[in-house]
Structure 1
């Protein structure tokens, strides 16, 4: 298994453990052709989660919320995914981002700290999405 694949699996398992701790049931799709990594259920409500592993660059997390292979790149839609679980493997933190906040984007940026000029418009602060 490549290091990248191992970090992706670590992120999936960290999110699964946190969902379990918070009372969700976890279902794992079979194979690698599914747009989701985790299906979670609590009180009859199901949510689909796509997990991405990454690390911060200059105080921000660049979330690649797209699927790609050698031939094409595909943006996820709310018909496929409810949340993106972004796993920062350097700091071992997870951020849960609703698809509505990033739908149609390929690489939204989640800032770990406020901007130096205090800009707020179109800024996504990590503290808003912190999950573990």
Structure 2
């Protein structure tokens, strides 16, 4: 277990871990010279906007944890809010362009285009599946920040 993973898992609650995830993803972007713009208030469906080659991209940050299958991580692709009448679950279609994902178990950050995610969650593999499946696999290498940046000029915020 890395020092950052140990510190991360010691955080008291989901809100603190979420804030840490957002800070880590921002730091990874800023350290690569990517401008990060933060909304003035916390009512937007995105956490921040990044600018790459003059194009703006809305980013929602999520934490990924070990999936139920070995060699993979998973993150949720819907927001869940507690309401008086129960839980409200909403997707992000049309509201964001990318998910910024941090996984403490691998200490890695990813950028995932919204077009690549499922309706409720996404699994990213870092080891081959035990059953040998190689079709429709989301490999972690495809979502590392430096791999995604070159494709972003074709998906700007209007």
Structure 1 and Structure 2 fold alike (TM over 0.5): yes
Q: Is 1:106 aligned to residue 106 of structure 2?
A: no
Deviations 1:37-68 (A, max 9, x none): 11111332101111101321332211101011
Say which one has the larger Rg.
2
- Note the C-alpha offset of 1:73: 0.6
Compared CA separation, residues 33 and 2, structure 1 to 2 (3 A): farther
TM-score (norm. length: structure 2): 0.73
How many pairs are equivalent?
A: 130
* SS of residue in 2 equivalent to 1:16: helix
Structure whose residues are more often helix by fraction: 2
Structure 1 unaligned residues grouped into runs of 5+ = none
Structure 2: runs of 5+ lacking an equivalent: 1-10, 147-158
The correspondence of residues 1-132 of structure 1 with structure 2, limited to 5 A, is: 2-57=12-67, 58-70=70-82, 71-77=87-93, 79-102=94-117, 105-131=119-145
**SS of residue paired to 1:63:** strand
How far apart, in 1, do the equivalents of 2:24 and 2:33 lie? Answer: 15
